Amino acid sequence: MPEVSTEALIVSIQAVAAEIRAFREAIQSGEAEPEEYQLLEERQRAAENLEAAYDKLAVNVLNLPPYEQLISN
């Protein structure tokens, strides 16, 4: 896996979480385009991969915020 800085990983986690929230809101409101369902699934898979990378990083880096804090509003 390529090296990614801690900051880049955190920003990526937050960006993907924001997209997931936006897609879910669009779906719940009934305003989602058909392709947004597929995009939501893709972002959810990306979020799982990012969480796994964050968990590995957290083993060696002190003072990281909890993952749940990064993905909350």
How do residues 8-30 score in pLDDT, each as one tens digit?
Answer: 999 999 999 999 999 999 999 99
Residue 71 lies in a domain: no
> Domain residues for 46?
6-61
Residue 66 lies in a domain: no
- What total of structural domains would you count in the chain? 1
- Note the pLDDT of residue 1: 59
Instruction: Report which of 52, 43, 48 is spatially closest to residue 18, judged by C-alpha positions.
Output: 43
Rounded Cα–Cα distance for residues 50 and 48 (Å): 5
**Which burial class, exposed, middle or buried, applies to 19 when counting CB atoms under 10 A from its CB (0-12, 13-18, 19+)?**
middle
Residue 19 lies in a domain: yes
pTM across the whole model: 0.90
Residue 73 lies in a domain: no
Residue 49 lies in a domain: yes
**pLDDT surpassing 70 at residue 61:** yes
Rounded Cα–Cα distance for residues 11 and 9 (Å): 6
- Note the pLDDT of residue 3: 85
